[in-house]
Structure 1
Amino acid sequence: MEKSASSTEASPATQSDVDTAHNKEEENADQYSSKATNKTSWKNFLVMNIPAELSSAIDQRDRESSPIRHRKLVGNFSDFFSPTSTTTKQEFTHTINKFTLLILYLFIARWCLSYISQFTFRIVGLRISAKLRLAYLKALFSLPVGVLDTLPSGQASNTITTTANTLQVGISDKLGVFLQCNSLLLVVDLGYEFRTGRHWRHIWLAERFFTSLNDLLSPRFIPELDYECYLKLRRSYLRTVIPIIMKMTKEVEHADEKASSIAGEVLGSIRMIVACGAESRIAKKYSGWVEESRKRALKKSPFIGIQFAPRTIVVVLSSVMMIAMATSQTAAPILAAAAAANAATDFFAVIDTPRPDTSGLKGPDITAREDLALESITFAYPSRPHVKVLDDLSIKFEAGKITAIVGASGSGKSTIVGLLERWYNLEKQEIVIPPSAVKDPKAKKDEEEKPLGTSTPEDTEKKVHIDPSGSVRCGSHELKAIDLKWWRSQIGLVQQEPFIFNDTIAKNVEYGLIGSEWEKADAETKKKLVVEACKEAFADEYITKLPQGYETQVGDAGIKLSGGQRQRLAIARSIIKRPKILILDEATSAIDVRGEQIVQAALDKVSEGRTTITIAHRLSTIKKADKIVRSRLPWYLILLFGSMGAGACYPLQAYIFAQLISVFQYTGAQLTAAANHWSLMFFILAIGAFVVWFGMGWASNTVAAHISSTYRQEYFESILRKPIPFFDAEDNSSGTLTARVANDPTQLQQLLGINMAMVLTAIFNITGCLIIGFVFAWKLCIVVAFVALPILLIGGYYRVRYEIQFEKMNQAVFAESSKFAAEAITAFRTVTSLTLEDMISSRYEELLDWHVNAAMKKSRWSTIAFAASESMGLLCMALTFYWGGKLLGNREFGPLAFFVVYIAVINGAETAGVLLSFGPSEYRCLSFCGHGSPAESSAPCVTELESILGTTRETDQGKSAAEVINAEGGVKIELKDVWFKYPTRDIPIFTGLSICVSCRSTCAFSDHHADTGQIEKGQFAALVGPSGCGKTSIVSLLERFYDVQKGRILCNDNDISELDVHDYRKSLSLVAQEPTLFEGTIKENILLGVNESTPEESLHRICRDAEIHDFIMSLPDGYSTNVGSKGVLLSGGQKQRIAIARALIRDPKILLLDEATSSLDSESEKLVQAAFERAGKGRTMVVVAHRLATVQNADVIFVLGEGRVLEVGDHQALLRKRGVYYQMSSLLSGKSLKFKLTNRNDLTKDDHPANIFQCQSQALDR
């Protein structure tokens, strides 16, 4: 049995099992964190961060000296305004000027140090992120396929994109801000017991305040409040709250990864989703994980509030203004650092995984021209260790001969290929990726409905674990003793489902030279080899007809080529390096009759002298073998009022602080009473600050979770509703769209969470500071408002401008590199079989290096503006000192008014810097919401929301298809003068194609060379012809994946473009050439797009018709067996039969079969074909086929060529015409062409299939 599926659904667990699983998850997280610490060279990280850390610390040290300057300033002011003062106006002015000059020096120093800090941290973050992405990709390539099969669908791609971005944010700018804000705390903490002189507890102002507060409150309830107490509280907080936040963040990320994996899988197979009408079902499944993420995010809300509240109490009570501002900015960096730490565990879980030793013997010590042997092989896949695939199998493949492997689907044929390619080992493979602690919401619900401690006999039955055994040898050497890359370079593999990279045709074929003697050849030599290989594979004939020839871009996964064209390209890629061993896994399954026999002859030619292993279902191919919807107003109001209250704390603090300073003008009992009064005011302010900050933190996280959840669902559902041409665009590849679905809502959540709360707080703070400043000293405040603040805003404007440009470049380049990496991960088997790992890694490294270098150049200038705007607060302070000193010297106001304005200006300047730091995020949010036009926007995610939610959707309006389609006896189909070309291609497919009612049995041609024929109600109609002639295009037009440019397609005399598209598709079923399955159970895949409550009897009957029921029931979990990502746990034939069952269970009026039986063995094909003929009664069936045997019973056959109908009739009528169809039948039976080839040119002009079609077409034209 070949790859079968295993269930990923765990048996119902007891509560203790659940707790054990969660504990193990925590142990795994600790284990991988430990690995990240011990095995990774963090010395480089520390060395690179030394300049940044020192700069941040020294920068903060400037602020640290502020309280000492305050003490001197207060002393000078008290002396000057004291009734007994002897200080003159000149002396006072001289002191003010001295302080002003000192602040100017500090401004320059802080500008320089801030520049060094921010620039260094940004570059370090970029470099580390790039290195981790590259190391992760290399680590993936070094792991066996068996390990990668255990990874959840899409996790690897999500890690290298979204998770890497999260990590980068946490270790660059945010880390710099965090260290800068906490450097003072670190310095004081380390030197607390050793410092002398100007100690924090010796600051006169703080000492007087703490003394007054302790006098006011009983010592029994409030201990001595000093800096040591603050440090202890802070350390306790970090040890308790932060780990909880990190754990909850990890759970949210797990749920988001599940949602992203669904999006990636679905967007890569969007046509099948649309054909099945499963958009709502998939959207519901996606929404389940989004909702799970929202619920877990909401659990963080109180802890986010706690993140602010205790800090605020201590800050307000300590009255140390600069520490207040520094500490108030640590919330977002702490959360970013927590997210980065969680992201790092995903990276190091793979990077630190023990890698198998792939070194060993290579040429000339060993040759691949020896017999291959499988000896006593017993094997089960690591992801399904209970299902035996091979049982004591022994096979010998003689060197230089062709050995064929035949058998039923699922019998183990492709498993042999996996063992020969060394994708799987015969040794015990440890699954190293820790399982997610987040369960499927549906499974979780089922568990909750079942009482704990109950189980069924099936639950408790122990499954036998299969231990792999045996050996694979090349001559006398075991494969595990041979160098892995050298071995794979000796093999040419053509898979049943070929993967084509998003590159040019020439590059795709050229990839086959990796690891060969021509890898380093010059471009001219490579080009010659490419052309020769394409000619041998008969791909040259269609390549030369393309406008750009060999430089044609094939699109995402080769979407711009037909199935047969992709297959021939894969054959050319496999034979270009002239491999010693050739493995053909159904290599001609997607090639039409016209080309199959000649390509088979070419394969026979290249097989001469090589060890060739052919896997086939068709025995004819092996004859030569030798052997936002809900209102969240209350939370918005809490967020708004919380931000207002938090912003009001700072001007109120400035006022109370100034009042506290003014009390020292008094003496005796009056001084004590005033100090006690204002100390009580501080305490009341602290209580109020606790309430508003806690409420703001809770509300901001809640709002962010709700908005992100709603937006993510709407975003994904909107993409599912896009017309198919939307997905054909180069910018809308499945990898790009998956990254956007994952990243855009995350960015919006980050903005509308703590960041937006801080912005609102800053706005209210600035407003309050200006109001209180104008009230107390309008002459001083007017200068500050109209001189200092504009300076801040100008600096901030340039900062935002450069930041936006940097973010735009950052997103564009990392999107390109992430798309490249995601494609390589998706095609892992193709990459390893072609030994492209080093080439892919090198190219990926080049993309990352280019980005880092470009970012460095850009950051040099943007960081200047960044540092300048951050330092402008000191310039404002200097201006306030200078102008305020003059006004004080003239005694226009007193010290109270000055300190109120001065402290308000400090806070206003600092919070203005905070506000401006969120400029790029604000701009992105406006672009998301479509508030700006694309012409006016230059943000990184320009009008993302507008581009997705605003793009034209497939219309849900139109005539109901029920009355038109659901007529008895099937549906009559007509194509009238159809003109069509794909939106991304310049070459037209049809130029006047007509399949009309008027003259069904004639062979006359119109002016457009279009034959006439019809598909009557209930007919079995077949479309045959060479690859690229337009057969699949007709199916796509019937499915309304595309609309015609001209002409009409009629169903029962009704234009299908006037019908409701979703209603219309309910009456169709499609079985595509390449079967598409999705992550989930077999039952879920079969019932995709239909009612989940379908009776079991109907499900089993349909599966019996598709010849898959017996196989499903042989699996341990039956219909509940998980098929893996894209059905990776099943063989090609098994996937095809499940796809057939999915089509039949929809009970369609029109059944579309695009090479539906290409992956089946002969016996299964006959049975399924009979099932189709039974199912076709009362239905119209349109079949695309290369094998004429499958269409011999068709009521009408349309022979297509070069985008037009060449012949029409049933099988016997077409044979009697002795035209194109007769020639195709002769090719298949081998009666017309006899091949005895030494090279491709041995075919005569008349014998070549292309010329046969061309000559016949010309004859018919005449």
Structure 2
Amino acid sequence: MRILPLRALGNLVFVQGLVFAQYLVAAGRATSGQVFTSFSACLLLGSLIASLSDLLAMINKAQASALSMDELGVVQVAEHSMSNVSLAQLISKTYSVSTILVEDISFAYQDVETPILERVNATFNTSGFNFIIGLSGSGKSTLACIIAGLYEQSEGHIRIDGITQPFRGYSNESILLVHLHPSILEQLLKSNISLGCGSIDESRLVSAIYLADLQDFVASLPLGLNSTVDEKELSGGQLQKIGLARAFLRDPPVLILDEALSAIDSHSRKRIMANLRERRRGQLTLLVTHDSQDIEPNDDICMLSAGRVTRFGKKHQIGSALPVKLASQEKHDIEHIEKDRDHNDVCFRSRAARSSDIESQSDIDESFEKESTYSLTQLLRFTYRTCDKKFMVLFGCFTAVLTGLVPLVLSFLFSKILSKIVGHTSPGMRITWKPILTLIIAAIALIFGDGCVHFSSKALLHYVLETWINSLRKLSLSLINDQDMSFFSLHNRFPSDLNTLLMNDARDLRSVISEFLPGICEMFALAVGGFVWSTVTGWRLTLVGYAFIPLILMITAAYGIILQGVEARYKSEVAELDSHCSKTMLGIKTIKSIGLESDLCAEFEQKLKALFSIGLKRAIVDGFGFSVLQLCTSAATATILYYGVFLIGKNEYSLEQMLFVLTLLIFTISGVTNVTKRLPVVSRGQRAARYISSIISSLALELEVGGVYSVGHRTEKASDAVILFQNVSFSYQDTNAKGFNQVLKNITFEVKKGESLTIVGKSGSGKSTIASLLLRLYNVDRGSIEIFGMEISSIKADDFRGAVTMVPQKPKFFEGSIRENLLYGCQLPYVSEEAIWDVLRAVNAFDLVNGLQRGLDTCYGDDVLFSLGELQRLCIARALIRKPRILILDEPSSHLDAFNTQIVADLIGTGLRAIDKDLVILTISHDSNLIKHAGRILKIDRGYVAQDGKSSG
């Protein structure tokens, strides 16, 4: 709405100025020269007023951004008082801590009423290892985070060797917390292990690697410790070993391990525990675990239940109250089994896809990087190809042409009015008001009409183009969802990059069409119409004025080319900084645990300096280009005025003729200059169009979805097997080695109705790759995969997703009610509340949900937060509610205590078959309790089937 009054006000400046000038001339209080000078000033003022709409838009965006930042509620936390801590004490504490005393600690998460811990009291010392154990959701990890200084308790105190509430820097130096999923930065392995340690001795680094049993992994890397690693491409056991290597290297006075060995195979786990006990002798070590097999008689145990301490003491003192998960069970014969996180089996920068798919995607990426420009013509073609409401866009451009013709008529009216005023040079001369008032009224009506048309054009274009951008977002997201997982491993294809592109950069693309394209149409109409009209009126002065147009266009072209390169670099730096912030926030717990805030802040400042540097260049280019264009405009105006007066002096032009041509040319040149002000928008829009167009074109082929058959369809080749792998081979791409790493080699096996299969094997053997291929996340190199007698790619995506369901090892709930999360993606037409509660009972989550004030309608994140173990049970329930025909469980017991692990084992063994006797269960696990309940075991070794037979349990 601001466009209408501002555009009208910019033109009305002339009208009210001319009316008042007429009065002053008639009263003898102003000369014609003064009127003419004022009129010229009003021309400049009017263009400035009209540009206020863009400035107001920027101010509105700034206000919205400031409000968003204010709503974050970031509060500066004051440092704890150090009045009772001497410097000598602090220095000594960095070398030795003998006791941690927990006194009446209570804790509740912000905006969550239910307390996590209630009046917890415990003492941890160096007489042996200290273990915190308990059921899922009992508060074990929360207590560990409070001791490490990550959370601030609601009540109570933490005393370290008698010192109450040490300041934050003390915690970073003296206490190291290693999490279940330690964060890894995408940099050298050596740098990842030595994070926060500064310069280190090579022998200490090698020693830490051997103590963490990481030497085989290092040996498998092409460049050893100097190889680049990425968290997404490491197995769970490898991630945990890197976290443990950090701990061995730093050797802090207090070491806290929060389920830090849960994904490591039994043999390696035993070696690491022995190394820990030897290395940490006489130092305070605290382990949070569900597993009691590592507890020795001299170790202290703190048992939590529902946020309270139920038992505390030595192992022999607690006795039968100690929950045993694996202590009475011998490990299965299959050893060295390590969890492979999600779909990643290869340890070193492995990114998967079929060879042809990877090469084609890489070619697209390379050609995209080489293509440095995306012309305005290409941008318009892209818009025409992807916009559904082309007619409305064309209509908006047509109205822009009409508004471009308005200054021509206004120039004619203003010249008539001005000539009548300036023509009365004698003071007191009587002025004929009627024709002047007629011209003024006509000008006012035209100005308001122009404002209404301009407003309608802008509103229409913004509406249509906002719809277009939303459709592009939907199309891009749909195509992205259709890809296999190899797509996300390519350059500029990480989730944070795609999110920035679709949500932020797409707005720049919209701005090009909604602002620059109408401006071009308006300028074209003004330039062509003005040239024709002014040439007919006075061709000599017109040619002088239009002689500046080529100069302005050349400067504009050069300005645009330079600005495009600077804008692209600026946007890239912004994306780099955004990616850095995103990774920092995702790994904030690990960063705080090992005291990396200063290092990450220093890296952030370096990226800010790089952004500031290119931003300064951008500002210089933008300001210099705009100034040169303004200089050309002023020079053109002065030249036109001088030559016009010269022609009048030779009686070749009349005053009215000169004023008309002068006004018309000034309007035209100002219009051209105003269009050039939008060149930064064009540069940003060209970059966004290039990225989005690249994504859409590269995703033209559906790699992951498709199919024409439903799950119930039977073909002539149908067999009795529900799952059939026939000579399947698959390779990951090794980007550093510029080759492929074959993971599966002619794998053949089948799974029949009602069968329970557990896949085991060493890290990198390919077990999780089998699950990923079965889920259609990747395409095979050779061979075929069938379910229900049909090639998986021939099955409709919706039918396939309804039939095959996976429970990931890392559970995930979204913001929303528990009911919405449990039914998320469920394709069943109706699921009764009773059915939901029955499934919750089956996974031992009934009391967990029923005990909440709002039950299933409790909002996760706002009303309640769950532990990983609780989330894992709910995720299993979510999978069972869907009533799949094939259920894949990826380390389903990794976050569960002994009691709930047994429940899951019973479900796999007999419970699920009682519900659906034809259900196929495929489990990936190294938990011997689950392996015992498997009807059949498939062992993968170096890409081959090494063992396929019945479980001995």
Matches of 2:40 and 2:465, distance apart in 1: 32
Report the Cα offset of residue 988 of structure 1.
Answer: 5.0
Residue 207 of structure 1 aligns with an amino acid whose one-letter code is F
State whether residues 102 and 121 of structure 2, in contact with CA within 8 Å, keep that contact through their aligned partners in structure 1: yes
2:765 is the counterpart of 1:1029: yes
Aligned match of 2:745: 993
1:815: how far off? 0.8
**8 Å contact 1:663–1:674 — kept in the other structure?**
no
1:748 pairs with 2:488: no
* CA offsets 1:404-444 (integer angstroms, 9 cap, x no match): 11111011111101211222223xxxxxxxxxxxxxxxxxx
Residues 478, 682 of structure 1: alpha-carbon distance in 2 compared, 3 angstrom cutoff: same
* d(CA) in 1 for partners of 2:26, 2:655: 23
Map 1:350-749 to 2 at 5 A.
353-358=75-80, 360=82, 361=85, 364-366=88-90, 367=93, 369-384=97-112, 386-426=113-153, 468-479=154-165, 482-511=166-195, 514=196, 518-519=197-198, 521=199, 525-555=200-230, 558-623=231-296, 626-627=299-300, 636=393, 639-664=396-421, 665=423, 671-749=432-510
Determine if contact 1:970/1:1179 at 8 Å carries over to the other structure.
no
Report how far residue 783 of structure 1 moved.
Answer: 4.0
Other-structure match for 1:291: none
| Shift of residue 779, structure 1, vs aligned partner | 3.1
Q: Deviations over 1:1116-1164 (max 9, x none)?
A: 2222223339x99221101111111122122222111111111100111
SS in 1 for 2:503: helix
RMSD: 3.5
CA gap of 1:1014–1:693, structure 2 versus 1, over 3 A, is closer
Q: Which runs of 5+ in 2 are unaligned?
A: 1-5, 28-37, 301-382
1:1121 to 858, 861, 864: 858
Cα 1:708/1:899, change in 2 over 3 Å: same
Please report how far the alpha carbon of residue 991 of structure 1 lies from its aligned counterpart in structure 2 after TM superposition. 5.7
Please name the residue that 1:1161 is paired with: 897
Structure 1 partner of 2:920: 1180
How far apart, CA to CA, are the structure 2 residues paired with 1:582 and 1:960? 54
Please state how far the C-alpha of 1:615 moved relative to its aligned partner. 1.3
Corresponding residue to 2:46 among 324, 327, 336? 324
2: distance between equivalents of 1:630 and 1:579? Answer: 60
Do the aligned partners of 1:1150 and 1:1182 also contact (CA within 8 Å) in 2? yes
Flag the 1:755–1:624 CA change in 2: closer, same or farther, 3 A. Answer: farther
Alpha-carbon distance between aligned partners in 2 of 1:362 and 1:560, rounded to the nearest angstrom: 46
Q: Distance in 2 between matches of 1:1209 and 1:1138?
A: 31
Distance 2:298 2:172 in 1: 23
3-state SS in 2 of match to 1:1157 = coil
Output one character per residue of 1:1033-1060: Cα deviation in whole Å (capped at 9) or x when no partner. Answer: 1111111111122232233554334444
Which residue does the alignment assign to 2:775? Answer: 1039
Deviations 1:626-659 (A, max 9, x none): 1199965786476345423432332222111111
CA distance in 2, matches of 1:885, 1:949: 63
Give the direction of change, closer, same or farther, for the CA distance of 1:870–1:719 in structure 2 (3 Å limit).
farther
CA distance in 1, matches of 2:298, 2:746: 44
Distance in 1, Cα, partners of 2:480 & 2:155 = 47
Q: Percent identity?
A: 23
Deviations 1:1059-1087 (A, max 9, x none): 44443232111112222222222222221
Please tell me whether residue 1200 in structure 1 is matched to residue 940 in structure 2.
yes
Instruction: Supply the AA of the counterpart residue of 1:324.
Output: G
Instruction: Indicate the SS of the match to 1:899.
Output: helix
Q: CA deviation at 1:976?
A: 1.1
The superposition leaves residues 300-323 of structure 1 with CA deviations (integer Å, 9 ceiling, x where unpaired) of: xxxxxxxxxxxxxxxx99992111
| Cα deviation 1:959-1002 (Å, max 9, x = unaligned) | 44432599998713324142322475757554663443xxxxxx
Q: Is this contact kept in 2: 1:869–1:913, CA < 8 A?
A: yes
Q: Return the letter of the residue paired with 1:962.
A: G
In structure 1, what is the equivalent of residue 362 of structure 2?
none
Match in the other structure for 2:725: 974
Give the deviation of 1:799 after TM superposition. 0.8
Question: What is the 5 A alignment of 1:799-838?
Answer: 799-838=559-598
C-alpha distance in 1, partners of 2:721/2:104? 54
Q: 1:656 to 1:1061 in 2, by over 3 A?
A: same
- Which residue identity lines up with residue 178 of structure 2 in the other structure? V
Structure 1 CA distance for aligned equivalents of residues 86 and 869 of structure 2: 36
The CA distance in 2 between the partners of 1:953 and 1:845, in whole Å, is 40
The letter for the 2-side match of 1:424 is Y
Matched residues in 1 for 2:396 and 2:23: separation?
32
Q: CA deviation at 1:1107?
A: 1.4
- Residue type of the alignment partner of 1:346: S
Q: Secondary structure at the match of 1:582?
A: strand
Matched, 1:208 2:26: no
User: 1:700: how far off?
Assistant: 4.0
SS at match of 2:134: coil
In the aligned structure 2, how far is the partner of 1:1061 from the partner of 1:658?
A: 69
Amino acid aligned to 2:47? M
Q: Distance in 2 between matches of 1:1029 and 1:358?
A: 50
SS in 1 for 2:237: helix
Amino acid at match of 1:981: Y
Which runs of structure 2 are paired with 1:920-959 in the superposition (5 Å)? 920-925=680-685, 928-929=688-689, 941=691, 943=693, 946=696, 950=700, 952=702, 954-959=704-709
Kept after mapping to 2: 8 A contact 1:1029/1:1203: yes
- Cα distance in structure 2, aligned partners of 1:622 and 1:685: 89
CA apart distance, 1:771: 3.1
Whole-Å separation in 1 of the counterparts to 2:946 and 2:87? 54
Is the Cα contact below 8 Å between 1:776 and 1:897 reproduced in 2?
Answer: yes
Give 1:1197 shift.
1.4
CA positional deviation for 1:823: 0.8
Are 1:1109 and 2:807 an aligned pair? no
Q: How far apart, in 1, do the equivalents of 2:464 and 2:808 lie?
A: 43
Whether the 8 Å contact between 1:647 and 1:762 is mirrored in structure 2 is yes
Instruction: Give the superposition deviation at 1:591.
Output: 1.6
Where 2:123 maps in the other structure, the secondary structure is: strand
> For 1:901, which of 661, 675, 680 is the aligned residue?
661
Deviation, structure 1 residue 489? 2.3
Question: For 1:374, what is the secondary structure of its paired residue?
Answer: strand
Q: What is the distance in 2 between the residues matched to 1:1045 and 1:1206?
A: 21
The 3-state SS of whatever aligns with 2:814 is coil
Quote how far apart the aligned CAs of 1:827 are: 1.4
Once residues 744 and 793 of structure 2 are traced to their aligned partners in structure 1, the CA distance between those partners, rounded to angstroms, is 18
TM superposition shift of 1:546? 1.8
Change (3 A) 1:574 1:206: farther
Show the 5 A alignment for 1:869-880.
869-880=629-640
CA pair 607-1132 structure 1, distance change in 2 beyond 3 A: farther
Instruction: Classify the secondary structure of the residue corresponding to 1:576.
Output: helix
Q: CA deviation at 1:865?
A: 3.3
SS in structure 1 at match of 2:923? strand
In structure 2, C-alpha distance between the alignment counterparts of 1:600 and 1:994, rounded to whole Å: 38
Greater helix proportion: 1
Going from structure 1 to structure 2, the CA distance change for 1:877 and 1:497 (only over 3 Å counts) comes to: same
Any stretches of 5+ residues in structure 1 without a counterpart? 1-180, 186-199, 215-315, 427-467, 931-940, 997-1012, 1214-1262
- Write the mapping of 1:253-268 to structure 2, written as runs, cut at 5 A: none
Answer yes or no: is the 8 Å Cα contact 2:704–2:778 preserved in 1. no
Distance 2:867 2:906 in 1: 22
CA drift of 1:1188 comes to: 2.2
Asked if structure 2 preserves the Cα contact closer than 8 Å seen for 1:1023 and 1:1200, the reply is yes
State the SS of the aligned residue for 1:544: helix
